[in-house]
Amino acid sequence: MPRILTVAAAQLGPIQRADDRGSAVARMCALLRQAGANGCDLVVFPELALTTFFPRWFMEDQAEVDSFFERAMPAPETQPLFDLAKELAIGFYLGFAELVEEEGRLRHFNTSILVDKTGAIVLKYRKIHLPGHAEHEPWRAFQHLEKRYFEVGNLNWPVTRSLGGVLGMAICNDRRWPETYRVMGLQGVEMVLIGYNTPRHNPPAPEHDRLSEFHNHLAMQAGAYQNGTWVVGAAKCGVEEGCEMIGASAIIAPTGQIVAQALTQDDELVIARCDLDLCASYKETTFNFARHRQPDQYGLITARAGAIPPD
Ligand code: CDT
């Protein structure tokens, strides 16, 4: 019997600043119902799915920044999502800004959770690769202040056995880094769930803009193939507060092939029946890590962050 997980990338169109969490949750519930009608086991929502992508603004008032964060999960505004998913027996991935008291202080993380079919949170991840900058840079058309508003995640990349497979998570910019997938690959991951918010325009490198969708897929397809895993990428996209973000949500097989892809830049469900046993032939042959990897030769990867070319 193949291990089939029917998965939906639940792409969201724009969420404007004036839109409250209730309206975002209502849209996600509508997608959950569609997923239920299509026999889905798991739905992947985007990064920071409850609000507009607020790191585009420089804010000096910490209370204003904190208004975009969740102090509890679930909370009254998000409880309907948990209730409906449980009623439909669907698991889900949700990205949100997490404000938590830890080590005796308030901490801010860009977080995702995996909720199983019973409504229990079974895995939490805090984004490690925070892109952008920490100070106001007025020359930009818009800011990307993730390095200001979030701390680097402190949970590494955990994976868990859930929904019949070995599942892991990453968030947006993480998908561009091979280390993200490899750390989970070394734990036998069979499906990596990724939510993202990717502005088309990258102010420091506008020459990349026309390649945005290509780079999105290139990185996720490589991660899937090189680790023998499924990858599910779910965008928040469209024109949000005047800033265009790419869609192109996709479900990628361990072969590296895209098996389903979004057609719009709006709320849309992208569905695929994923055979988790398809991972095995990659994990056991070309990417049999135990047989072929040479970790003794990879020391620089953990010893050094930036490249140092020879003299
Ligand atoms: N949200 C997020 O991580 N976005 C980044 C934008 C990179 S440009 C600063 C991404 O990698 O898609």
Q: Is-catalytic flag, 47?
A: yes
Beta bridge partner(s), residue 11? 268
Residue 73: Cβ within 10 Å count: 18
Ligand 1, atom 6: nearest CA belongs to which residue? 198
- Between the CA of 226 and the centroid of ligand 1 the distance, in Å, is 22
Q: What is the pLDDT of residues 261-297, one digit of tens each?
A: 999 999 999 999 999 999 999 999 999 999 999 999 9
Distance CA(22)–CA(20), nearest Å, equals 5
Which one from 40, 47, 190, 283 is the annotated catalytic residue? 47
Q: What is the pLDDT of residues 209-261, one digit of tens each?
A: 999 999 999 999 999 999 999 999 999 999 999 999 999 999 999 999 999 99
Q: Is 180 in the pocket of ligand 1 (CB under 6 A)?
A: no
Which one from 40, 172, 237, 243 is the annotated catalytic residue? 172
Residue 241: Cβ within 10 Å count: 15
In terms of phi and psi (left: phi > 0; alpha: psi -120 to 50; beta: otherwise), the region of 119 is left
Q: Is-catalytic flag, 279?
A: no
Q: Is 219 in the pocket of ligand 1 (CB under 6 A)?
A: no
Stretches where the chain sits below pLDDT 50 are: none
State the pTM of this model: 0.98
Count the helix, strand and coil residues of the chain and give each as a percent rounded to the nearest 5: 30, 30, 40
- Between the CA of 131 and the centroid of ligand 1 the distance, in Å, is 6
* pLDDT, position 2: 84
Domain limits, the chain: 4-303
Topology (CATH) of 4-303: Nitrilase/N-carbamoyl-D-aminoacid amidohydrolase (3.60.110)
DSSP 3-state of 103? coil
* Among 27, 43, 54, residue whose Cα is nearest residue 144: 54
Buried-state track 103-131, b at ≥16 Cβ within 10 A, e below 16: eeeeebbbbbbbbbbebeebbbbbbbbbe
Q: Is-catalytic flag, 70?
A: no
Ligand 1, atom 11: nearest CA belongs to which residue? 173
Buried-state track 34-62, b at ≥16 Cβ within 10 A, e below 16: bbbeeebbbbbbbbbbbbbbbbbbebeee
* pLDDT, position 151: 98
Q: Is 235 in the pocket of ligand 1 (CB under 6 A)?
A: no
Record the tokens describing residue 73, joined without a space: 């999960």
Q: What is the DSSP letter of 266?
A: S
Distance CA(248)–CA(216), nearest Å, equals 8
